[in-house]
Structure formats: structure tokens, C-alpha cells
């Protein structure tokens, strides 16, 4: 036992101190449109996208829906003009579905952080997808990322959870279990859609299993896109709950 | 490999299957293409050959093989659920994927003509085989003092959903029934809907703790239908990615096992080491889980520069793993918790066609890397892990030895990389009216992707068989007569995929 303790102490602290603003350059983030003009009439990116996440609007601007993007990098690869680049912002989350169409801020604004969740947030995880999002969420609590130091901890029952984190596209057989888990949580509560599937259904949407994400079932407070999101992006997104001042839903107040 | 569909009459089917298994061959999968036939893949690893049999099914029913060949049971249930084909005489016919909430009146994978027939069948009272009847009944165990513990579908931690129904007497588990299908997202159907060039994104999402294995199986199966040769560099990089994935997942499973024992120092050390493995994947592909790295025709990017860095990390991992494994395996308390728990006897492993770690912990040496063409295999010399006690401890030891083998392979592959092209351009069309299959040794075991194209060269049927399909039943049997508290340990030692099964 003593040898083990000695070994552990010798390893030192492996945790990264601060949450970075950007991921390493070589990591695949979301595509971002720059000011470099497109080759005229080019539709290469929209044609290459497997989920229809990228669109060239009538005004010739490029709209990218991070909530549908599976970060496959195809669009960047086929872009002949270099208009699209890899954006490694960590603050890729959004509070509304519409905000996912705007580029992620390079630097996250630091809010007042004074909500009832600012010191501690108990999250309950409901997994309904391919489990990669779950792996990255689990990684966010490992010694390297260590989200528990920010007061975020995963709990084993909805009864003592503040936030419901949903991963995966929520196929039909999971509709009812998800709703009953939400019901079992006490107010005030938050819903966090983690991963592109949970936000839009991703590659699964509009199939016979009705796996179209959390949106059709529950009101979502925080959207964390990515397939799967990087642990830093997950931590940044969940930390954003500190800015939500404990919403209490009208229908729940009765 | 490309397959020739051989015709087999329904009378001969069970006998042929039984004879093949008795001769040491393996059952790959049983499924259908569109509900008019049964497809059966029989694998002969020794001969490196695969037989694909097609049996026409008249009237939507056929004679079940389960009573003679128990490992057919799950395939037959799934084929009933997805195609409406009823296996007559199946001892426990229950739905596997489409639960009560589904209001579909016809099976999702059968063709339109069959769907129309299906609709005309009236639900006779008591005939649960009708497509509209989705009720599910757990096996009841009766007797004084016997009680049930229902668990799931949502579990306590960050785990995929599934339902476990324990029938217990005191602390002892008498029976466990596992109900899956909660994360059935319709992957197979989607793979026949999207253009084949985009299929890899869907295939990868089948079970994304193994995106490399799934994208490799997808690419390999598609390449047979395109009749292209993949450059050597790409084959090597694919194998490198697959070994990195295996190392990362085995480390994570060993860590999880330690966590369930309560040995947190090891759990967190394994977590840290897994970080090193993920870093290798990130260097190779830009993504911690290496998603999107493998594509039909090769790999999407290749840099010789990172190879040295990855090799460096692999050597570092090899060094760092030693003390952690020693602390783990020399700890008498930890070993006591694992020994003799959740035993799968080798006869059972054979009877249920177990694959992967669970098979190799019960005396079966089957490792797809030695037999089937994928990545740089089978042209490497690989000594499969082999344990015989079939308990949690054996499965842990298999994982440890496989990490060591994988590190060795990884370093060899990296040393042996030669510059060259890593992607070839692809024809527009898949070969029409053809079938192909790819078999990959994922970290869970044998993963099969089967493709059948129609007359226009479009994918008509895409079938995925994850290693978990073979192994879930073994878990249910292994926990019998163990105490309830040991279930998490057993479960972790098998480390099966819910999403990979549910698709
Ligand atoms: S990176 Fe996102 S937007 Fe670009 S092609 Fe892939 S899914 Fe579409
Ligand atoms: S968003 Fe991607 S990683 Fe997450 S569950 Fe869906 S397919 Fe899996």
C-alpha cells in the first residue's frame, strides 16, 4: 500500500489547471467561414456535408449549423478557396438553438456567475446514443480534465440532480424513460443537450425510430454540439449553467 | 471478401449449420435481405473461407434452429423483429429491438411487398407473432422467497441504457434476463438510405467507443464491391488506429473494473494512461476517438512526422503500464474479488459462439486478426491471448496481455511505415447484385459488416453484427449463482456495447 501511495505521489498532479479558450491546432473543431471569398457558384461544401449542416444562403453567406454538424471536416477538405477553416474554440456551446448558427465566440464572455448553481451543479446523465459522447463526458471527470473541481458532479439519481444531461438522439424506446427521469427531478432544473445527436438527431434524424434529439421532448437550456464534443467543450458548456439563474418552469410550478 | 450466395433448402439448413459447428467452423450471422429469404454466414477461420447460404422463406415462417444450435437464438429473434420472419419452434421468441411504444404495423427492414402481406395478417387472439403485438414478458422465477430486481433502462452512472431483470433468492442471482434495444436508432436502415459514399459517418455512429473498428469494417466491405486495392500505407495506418483504439478501450475497461472493486488508485491511473492512448489517436487523426479517419479507399490524412511521436508515446505507455499492472495484479484483495466470479466454462463459450475477450478468457483462441483480411492483417504474426478459467480475473488478464501485444504490434507497424499514397480515388458505383463481408477484430471481438447491393448497385441491405450480439447471453448466464453485488464487476469484465447491439 505504501509503495502504491509513493507511486501516486511521485506522479504528481496531472490535472490541467485552467480551461483553455482554444483546443490544440491539430484537433478537429467546427468549420468556420472566413472573409475569403468563395469560388463563384461553388457548392462543394453543401454537397459534401453528410447532415446538411452547411448552407449557402441567398445572400451568398455561409450558414453553418453547429447543432447538425458532426465535425467530419469534409467541407473544409473540399473547399477550393480556403474560405472554410477549422475553428478550435472551446466555447462552442449555446443557450439557444439559433445561436448555434452563429460562429462560436473566440473568447467566452464571463457572466456574473451568481446563480444558485454557481458553486455546485449535480448532473444526471441519460445516455441514448452511440456512447462516444458518454466516453468524453466520463473523460471530463478524469484526473486530467477533472470537472469536479468546478463543483460539477455526476449523481446516480434524478432526485438529487440540478441538471439533466442528455446524450444521443433519444430514439423512441427512450422517450418515456427520459421524460420520467425529468419528471423525477425537483425544481429548479436545467436540461443540457450534449452532442449533435441530442441537439438535432445528427445522422439519425427523421427515421422510423423518431430519433430527433431532445428538442421535441423537453425544453433545452444549454446546447453543447460536437460528435462527440471535446471534454473541454463539455466542461465549458456545463459551466455555462452557472449563468442560468435556476429557471423554474411555469408548468412545473403547480 | 466478395460472397457467392449459395442456395440451401430450408430442410437442410439446420443440419448444415450443426455440421459446420461440429467441424469447428463458426456461425457468423443469420439475417435476411428483404424478408424473402434467410442469409446465413458460416466462417471457416482455418481455411480463411466464408460460406454464405441463402434459404428462401415461404409464407414468412421457417423452422427455428435454436433448439439444435443455441447460438442461433438471438439472430432468429432479431430477424423476426426486423423482418417479420417467424422461427417456428423458437423456445423463447421475444422482440429484441422494437419495444411497446412502436406503432409500426410492419417490420422496418422488409420490402414493400412483404409489408403488404404483413398488414393483412390479422392478430389472432394469443398469437403474439403478429407485427403489431409488441408486448414483452420477462421469464418469471417462482418459489418462496424469490424476488425480482428490475434495473434500468437508465443506469446510475454514465452508462448506456438497457434493462436487467434479476430473479434472486437472498443475495444469489437465480436468473438474469437482459432486455436491450433502447438505443435502436435505425442504423442499418439508414445505411441503405444514404448514398454509399456517406455511409461511413453512419457506420461510425453504430457504437462509437469503436469508431475505428466500425469504419474499418465499413471501408473494407465497400472496397470489395468497388474492386479496388488500398495502398499499403493506408492499410498500416488503419491497423495502427485499430490497435490504438484497442489499447485505449482495454485501459478504460481495466480502470472501470478497478473502480467497481473500489481500487480507485488504479482506476484513476488507468484513466491517466488511457489519456496517453487517446493522445496517440489525436496525433494520428485530429480526433481523440479517431472518428472520420478511415474512409473507403484508404485514410483521410497521413503524416510521417507524427509516426515517431506516436511511437514515442507507445514506448512511454509500455513503461508506465508496468508498475500500475503490478500494483493491480499483485493486490490480493483485488484478485480475491475477481477470482471465481462470473465464470463462463469453455463448453458454454463454444456453444454460444462467444468472441473477443470473453472467448479468449474461456480457452478459445479465435482472434480475427489471425484469419480475416483487414488493415495490415492477417499478415502479422500474432499470438492470441489465452486464459482458461473464464472468470472476471481471466478476462482482466486477457485485456492486460492484449494491451501488451497491441503495443508491440503498434511499434512494429510504426517502424515499418513507408512513404506512399494513402488514398485512392473511387469509382462511382458499387458492383450490382453482389454481396460482400468484412470481419474485423474490434476491441470487443469479431465485428461483421455485410452488404448486399441491388440491380442498380445501390445498397439494399447493410447488416452489422457487433461482438456484443454473441456475448450478451454469456453475461446473463455467467452471473447465475453469483451475488447481486458482483454483477457490476461481471458486467464490466465483459464490457459489452448496448448501442453496438441495438444499432
Ligand atoms: S464538418 Fe460539419 S458542416 Fe462540414 S461537412 Fe462535416 S458535418 Fe457538414
Ligand atoms: S453526437 Fe456523435 S458521438 Fe454523440 S451520440 Fe451522436 S453519434 Fe455519438
Same domain, yes or no, for A184 and A73? no
Our CA dihedral for B182, B183, B184, B186, rounded to 10 degrees, sits at 150
CATH of the domain at A148: 3.40.50.12280
**Alpha helix locations (H) across chain A?**
2-11, 44-48, 74-78, 132-140, 172-183, 196-200, 231-239, 250-253
DSSP state of B414: H
Residue A68, classified by CB atoms within 10 Å of its CB into exposed (0-12), middle (13-18) or buried (19+), is buried
Q: Which residues of B423-446 are buried (b: 16+ CB within 10 A; e: fewer)?
A: beebeeebeeebbbbbbbbbbbbb
> A2 lies in a domain?
no
CA distance B204 to A240: 30
DSSP state of A31: E
Which residues of B are less than 8 Å from A136 in CB distance? Answer: 288-289
Cell numbers of A113, please? 456567475
A243-252, B135-144, B240-249 — most confident range:
B240-249
Which three-class secondary structure string do you get for B170-226? CCEEEEEEEECCCCCCCHHHHHHHCCHHHHHHHHHCCCCCCHHHHHHHHHHHHHHHH
Which residues of A are less than 8 Å from B275 in CB distance? Answer: 14, 139, 142, 144
Residue A50: nearest ligand to its CA?
1
Cβ separation of B190 and A72 shorter than 8 Å?
no
Report, as an integer, the average pLDDT of B373-400.
88
Structure confidence at residue B93 (pLDDT): 87
Structure confidence at residue B207 (pLDDT): 85
Structure confidence at residue B125 (pLDDT): 44
> A8 lies in a domain?
no
Which of B67, B90, B113 represents a domain boundary (last residue)?
A: B90
Residue B102's closest chain A neighbor by CA? A172
Say if ligand 1 is within 6 A of residue A100 CB: no
Structure confidence at residue B129 (pLDDT): 63
Structure confidence at residue A198 (pLDDT): 93
Sheet bearing B146-151, strands edge to edge: B146-151, B163-169, B172-179
CA distance B340 to B479: 11
pLDDT above 70 (res B489): yes
Residue B301's closest chain A neighbor by CA? A77
> A104 lies in a domain?
no
Which region among B350-354, B381-385, B437-441 has the lowest average model confidence (pLDDT)? B381-385
Task: List, for residues B33-65, the tens digit of each pLDDT value.
Answer: 988 889 999 999 988 999 999 999 887 888 898
> A233 lies in a domain?
yes
Structure confidence at residue B115 (pLDDT): 64
CA distance B445 to A178: 31
Which of A65, A88, A111 represents a domain boundary (last residue)?
A: A88
Centre of ligand 1 to C-alpha A137, Å, is 22
pLDDT above 60 (res B482): yes
Tell me if ipTM is over 0.90. Answer: no
Residue A130's closest chain B neighbor by CA? B207
CA-nearest residue for atom 5, ligand 1, is: A49
> A242 lies in a domain?
yes
Same domain, yes or no, for A75 and A125? no
Which of A64, A74, A85, A200 is the pocket-test mutation for ligand 1 (most atoms within 8 Å of CB)? A74
Shortest CB distance from B499 goes to which of A131, A136, A181? Answer: A131
Centre of ligand 2 to C-alpha B501, Å, is 16
Shortest CB distance from B275 goes to which of A24, A133, A144? Answer: A144
The count of structural domains within chain A is 2
Same domain, yes or no, for A43 and A142? no
Cβ separation of A208 and B189 shorter than 8 Å?
yes
CATH of the domain at A73: 3.30.70.20
CA-nearest residue for atom 2, ligand 2, is: A227
> A69 lies in a domain?
yes
> B456 lies in a domain?
yes
Structure confidence at residue B123 (pLDDT): 47
Measure A209 CA to nearest chain B CA, in Å: 6
Task: Specify the DSSP element, H or E, that contains B311.
Answer: helix B304-329
What is the three-class DSSP state of B332? helix
> B156 lies in a domain?
no
CA-nearest residue for atom 8, ligand 1, is: A49
Residue ranges making up the domain that contains B387: 187-502
Return all residues near A174 (Cβ < 8 A) that are at least 6 apart: A126, A128, A168, B153, B161, B182, B183
CA distance A162 to B227: 54
Residue ranges making up the domain that contains A52: 30-88
pLDDT above 50 (res B453): yes
Return the number of other C-beta atoms located less than 10 Å from residue B279's C-beta: 19
- B430: nearest Cα among B450, B455, B454, B457: B457
- B17: nearest Cα among B35, B45, B41: B41
CA-nearest residue for atom 8, ligand 2, is: A130
Cβ separation of B157 and A132 shorter than 8 Å?
no
Say if ligand 1 is within 6 A of residue A213 CB: no
3-state percent helix, strand, coil for chain A, nearest multiple of 5? 30, 15, 55
Say if ligand 2 is within 6 A of residue A224 CB: no
Structure confidence at residue B221 (pLDDT): 93
Structure confidence at residue B31 (pLDDT): 93
CB-based contact B287:B281 (threshold 8 Å):
yes
Same domain, yes or no, for A46 and A142? no
Cβ separation of A130 and B205 shorter than 8 Å?
yes
Task: List, for residues B63-118, the tens digit of each pLDDT value.
Answer: 898 888 999 999 999 998 888 888 888 888 888 898 888 887 778 888 776 666 55
Selected residue with higher pLDDT from B182 and A249 = B182
CATH of the domain at B457: 1.10.645.10
Residue B138, classified by CB atoms within 10 Å of its CB into exposed (0-12), middle (13-18) or buried (19+), is middle
Cell numbers of B260, please? 467497481
What residues in chain A have per-residue pLDDT under 70?
A: 106-114, 245-254
Measure B98 CA to nearest chain A CA, in Å: 8
Structure confidence at residue A5 (pLDDT): 85
Amino acid at each position: 500500500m505504501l509503495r502504491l501511495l509513493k507511486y501516486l505521489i511521485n506522479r504528481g498532479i496531472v490535472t490541467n489547471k485552467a480551461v483553455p479558450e482554444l483546443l490544440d491546432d491539430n484537433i478537429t473543431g467546427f468549420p468556420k467561414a472566413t472573409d475569403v471569398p468563395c469560388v463563384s457558384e461553388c457548392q462543394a461544401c453543401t454537397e459534401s456535408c453528410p447532415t446538411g449542416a452547411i448552407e449557402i444562403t441567398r445572400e451568398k453567406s455561409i450558414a453553418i449549423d453547429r447543432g447538425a454538424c458532426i465535425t467530419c471536416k469534409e467541407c473544409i477538405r473540399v473547399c477550393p478557396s480556403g474560405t472554410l477553416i477549422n475553428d478550435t474554440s472551446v466555447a462552442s456551446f449555446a443557450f439557444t438553438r439559433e445561436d448555434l448558427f452563429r460562429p462560436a465566440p473566440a473568447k467566452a464572455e464571463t457572466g456574473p456567475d451568481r446563480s444558485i448553481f454557481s458553486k455546485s451543479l449535480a448532473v444526471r446523465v441519460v445516455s441514448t446514443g452511440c456512447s462516444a459522447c458518454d466516453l468524453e463526458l466520463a473523460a471530463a471527470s478524469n484526473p486530467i480534465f477533472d470537472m469536479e473541481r468546478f463543483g460539477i458532479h455526476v449523481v446516480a439519481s434524478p432526485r438529487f440532480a440540478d441538471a439533466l444531461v442528455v446524450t444521443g438522439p433519444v430514439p423512441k424506446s427512450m422517450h418515456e424513460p427520459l421524460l420520467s427521469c425529468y419528471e423525477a427531478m425537483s425544481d429548479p432544473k436545467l436540461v443540457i443537450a450534449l452532442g449533435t445527436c441530442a441537439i438535432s438527431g445528427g445522422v439519425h434524424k427523421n427515421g422510423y425510430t423518431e430519433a430527433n434529439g431532445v428538442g421535441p421532448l423537453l425544453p433545452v437550456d444549454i446546447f453543447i454540439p460536437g460528435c462527440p464534443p471535446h471534454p473541454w467543450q463539455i466542461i465549458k458548456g456545463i459551466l455555462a449553467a452557472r449563468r442560468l439563474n435556476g429557471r423554474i418552469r411555469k408548468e412545473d410550478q403547480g | 471478401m466478395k460472397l457467392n450466395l449459395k442456395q440451401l433448402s430450408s430442410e437442410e439448413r439446420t443440419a448444415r449449420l450443426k455440421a459446420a459447428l461440429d467441424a469447428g467452423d463458426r456461425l457468423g450471422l443469420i439475417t435476411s435481405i428483404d424478408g424473402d429469404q434467410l442469409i446465413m454466414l458460416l466462417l471457416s477461420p482455418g481455411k480463411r473461407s466464408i460460406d454464405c447460404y441463402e434459404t428462401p422463406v415461404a409464407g414468412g415462417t421457417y423452422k427455428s434452429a435454436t433448439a439444435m444450435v443455441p447460438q442461433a437464438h438471438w439472430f432468429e429473434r432479431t430477424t423476426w423483429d426486423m423482418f417479420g420472419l417467424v422461427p417456428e419452434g423458437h423456445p423463447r421468441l421475444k422482440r429484441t429491438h422494437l419495444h411497446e411504444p412502436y406503432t409500426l404495423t410492419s417490420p422496418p427492414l422488409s420490402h414493400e411487398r412483404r409489408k403488404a402481406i404483413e398488414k393483412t395478417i390479422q392478430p389472432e387472439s394469443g398469437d403474439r407473432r403478429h407485427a403489431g403485438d409488441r408486448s414483452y414478458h420477462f421469464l418469471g422465477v417462482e418459489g418462496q422467497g424469490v424476488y425480482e430486481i428490475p434495473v434500468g433502462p437508465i443506469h446510475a452512472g454514465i452508462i448506456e441504457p438497457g434493462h436487467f431483470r434479476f430473479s434472486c433468492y437472498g443475495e444469489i442471482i437465480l436468473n438474469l434476463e437482459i432486455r436491450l434495444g433502447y438505443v435502436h436508432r435505425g442504423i442499418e436502415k439508414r445505411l441503405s438510405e444514404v448514398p454509399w459514399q456517406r455511409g461511413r459517418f453512419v457506420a461510425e455512429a453504430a457504437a462509437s467507443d469503436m469508431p475505428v473498428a466500425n469504419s474499418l469494417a465499413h471501408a473494407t466491405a465497400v472496397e470489395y464491391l468497388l474492386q479496388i486495392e488500398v495502398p499499403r500505407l493506408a492499410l498500416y495506418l488503419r491497423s495502427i488506429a485499430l490497435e490504438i483504439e484497442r489499447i485505449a478501450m482495454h485501459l478504460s475497461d481495466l480502470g472501470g473494473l478497478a473502480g467497481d472493486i473500489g481500487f480507485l488508485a488504479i482506476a484513476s491511473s488507468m484513466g491517466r494512461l488511457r489519456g496517453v492512448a487517446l493522445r496517440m489517436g489525436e496525433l494520428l487523426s485530429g480526433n481523440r476517438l479517431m472518428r472520420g479517419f478511415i474512409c473507403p479507399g484508404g485514410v483521410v490524412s497521413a503524416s510521417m512526422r507524427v509516426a515517431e511521436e506516436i511511437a514515442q508515446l507507445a514506448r512511454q505507455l509500455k513503461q508506465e503500464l508496468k508498475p500500475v499492472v503490478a500494483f493491480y495484479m499483485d493486490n490480493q484483495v483485488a484478485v480475491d474479488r475477481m477470482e471465481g466470479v462470473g465464470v463462463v466454462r469453455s463448453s458454454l463459450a463454444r456453444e454460444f459462439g462467444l468472441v473477443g475477450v470473453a472467448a479468449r478468457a474461456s480457452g478459445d483462441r479465435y482472434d480475427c486478426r489471425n484469419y480475416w483480411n483487414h488493415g495490415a492483417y492477417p499478415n502479422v504474426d500474432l499470438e492470441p491471448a489465452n486464459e482458461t478459467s473464464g472468470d472476471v480475473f481471466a478476462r482482466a488478464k486477457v485485456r492486460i496481455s492484449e494491451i501488451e501485444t497491441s503495443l508491440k504490434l503498434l511499434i512494429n507497424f510504426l517502424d515499418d511505415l513507408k512513404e506512399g499514397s494513402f488514398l485512392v480515388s473511387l469509382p462511382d458505383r458499387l458492383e450490382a447484385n453482389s454481396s460482400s463481408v468484412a470481419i474485423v477484430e474490434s476491441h470487443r471481438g469479431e465485428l461483421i459488416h455485410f452488404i448486399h447491393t441491388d440491380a442498380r448497385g445501390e445498397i439494399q441491405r447493410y447488416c452489422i453484427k457487433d461482438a456484443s450480439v454473441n456475448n450478451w447471453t454469456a453475461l446473463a448466464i455467467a452471473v447465475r449463482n453469483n451475488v447481486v453485488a458482483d454483477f457490476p464487476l461481471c458486467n464490466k469484465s465483459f464490457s459489452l456495447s448496448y448501442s453496438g447491439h441495438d444499432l
